[in-house]
Amino acid sequence: MEIYLVGGAVRDARLGLPVRERDWVVVGATVDDMLRLGYKPVGKDFPVFLHPETREEYALARTERKTGPGYTGFETCAGPDVTLKQDLQRRDLTINAMAETAEGEIIDPYGGVQDLDNGVLRHVSPAFSEDPVRILRAARFAARFAHWGFHVAHDTTALMRHMVSSGEVDHLVPERVWAEFTRALGEPDPQRFFDVLYGCGALARLFPELESLYLDCQRPLHQPADGVFPVLEAATALSDKPAVRFAALICDLDRTHDPDTAMSRLQNLGERLRIPNAFRELAEQALRHRDRVHRAPGLSAPELLDLLSALDAFRRRARLEDLLRVCQAEACALGREPAGDYPQARLLRRAQAVALAVKTDKMDTAEISGKAIGDRLRQRRIAALEELLTAR
């Protein structure tokens, strides 16, 4: 039995990045061998085990054979006769197909070290084309390492284009697309994710709402289209939350500030990808109320209170901060406010705190009830906000 560290841990260590999780492959062992050593089985489709102490994943070396369309159409074979090289060959990119021995020796049968040093994302073998999720993964790694100059190899891009034209990409299910999409939004340069998908033709199949923004730029396919998503780019510098960046992306879709059209696009995208409510709601809030947020310093106290109520700022206080990040990103992208400065956010945070400080238990409500209490609370909050505006 031989055990090797594989995949992302080997890649990230060589790049000098922190290793957050480690995966291991076991060569020359059977399921019974692993069970005798105390490993706990967790794999359903192929033999994967948890180490009895570290709880890290150990998988038996395996091969894969394509049996049907899509990413689920595979038959796996795991056994003591499968070699490390065979196991590494089934992986997506060469930079993910390296292994390391217990002594620290790198085993690199497919040129991953060279590609890592040269900043190239290259497929390991033609079997890359058998799994459409690999298109999304290649695009996501481009978004992760874009700041180091990584790019997708030309022959890999050509293979991805063939996967699109042959219809292989159409077998992706919404859950897998959304999972890779949200992970890409959390990467250092999420726009590169869409650049790669546009370059291989997958953007039109997976995110047709976004393709029109690239067509507007009138750039050749092989050139990055800078400025396609200015609000997303600004939001990336302000927040690492995928939900904030998603809402910023939706704002990029609505450059004419036509909320009805933008809301329709958001609805189509949300239904097709089964987007979680938290992402949808923040994007909807941004589309509906960003113009009023931008104009917040000019609002009266009643208008300011109405805006806070519309933003649900009294029940869902944390979401106000996310929305302000989205609006700040748009203001920066459009040149309305300098980077790092958004006085509207300071005003709305203070207004939220002032309004929340007005409590019903501090009011004389002995002789009134129901709607009358709400009306009195509103008037008290308006009075408090008028004091705030006067002090400004």
Q: Which domains does the chain have, with CATH numbers?
A: 1-120 (3.30.460.10), 232-391 (no CATH)
Q: Confirm if 161 and 139 have CB atoms less than 8 A apart.
A: no
Comparing C-alpha atoms, which of 185, 186, 224 is closest to residue 207?
185
Contact 98, 4 (CB under 8 A): no
Cα–Cα distance measured from residue 143 to residue 141, given in angstroms and rounded to the nearest whole number:
5
Q: Which residues of 153-179 are buried (b: 16+ CB within 10 A; e: fewer)?
A: beebbebbbebbeeebbebbeeebbbe
Q: How far is CA 382 from CA 187, 214, 376, in A?
A: 42, 46, 10
pLDDT at 68: 67
CA nearest to 94, candidates 131, 121, 132, 126 = 121
Q: Which residues contact 240 (CB under 8 A, 6 or more apart)?
A: 186
- Using a 10 angstrom Cβ sphere, with 0-12 exposed, 13-18 middle and 19 or more buried, the burial of residue 192 is buried
**Do the Cβ atoms of 88 and 64 come closer than 8 Å?**
no
pLDDT value at residue 337: 64
User: 354-367: string of b/e by CB count within 10 Å (b at 16+)?
Assistant: bbeebeeeeeeeee
Task: Write out the chain's pLDDT in tens, 392 residues.
Answer: 999 999 999 999 999 999 999 999 999 999 999 999 999 999 777 799 999 999 999 999 999 876 666 555 567 888 899 999 999 999 999 999 999 999 999 999 999 999 999 999 999 999 999 999 999 999 999 999 999 999 999 999 999 999 999 999 999 999 999 999 999 999 999 999 999 999 999 999 999 999 888 877 655 444 444 579 999 999 999 999 999 999 999 999 887 778 788 899 999 999 999 999 999 999 999 999 999 999 999 999 999 999 999 999 999 888 999 999 999 999 999 876 666 679 999 999 999 999 999 976 555 555 566 678 788 889 999 999 999 999 87
The overall pTM is greater than 0.75: yes
Q: Are 150 and 119 a contacting pair, CB within 8 Å?
A: yes
CB 305 within 8 A of CB 378: yes
Rounded CA gap, 229 and 255, in Å? 10
The C-alpha atoms of residue 256 and residue 101 are separated, in whole angstroms, by 56
16: left (phi over 0), alpha (psi -120 to 50) or beta: left
Q: Which two tokens stand for residue 100?
A: 């390391």
Q: What is the pLDDT of residue 76?
A: 81
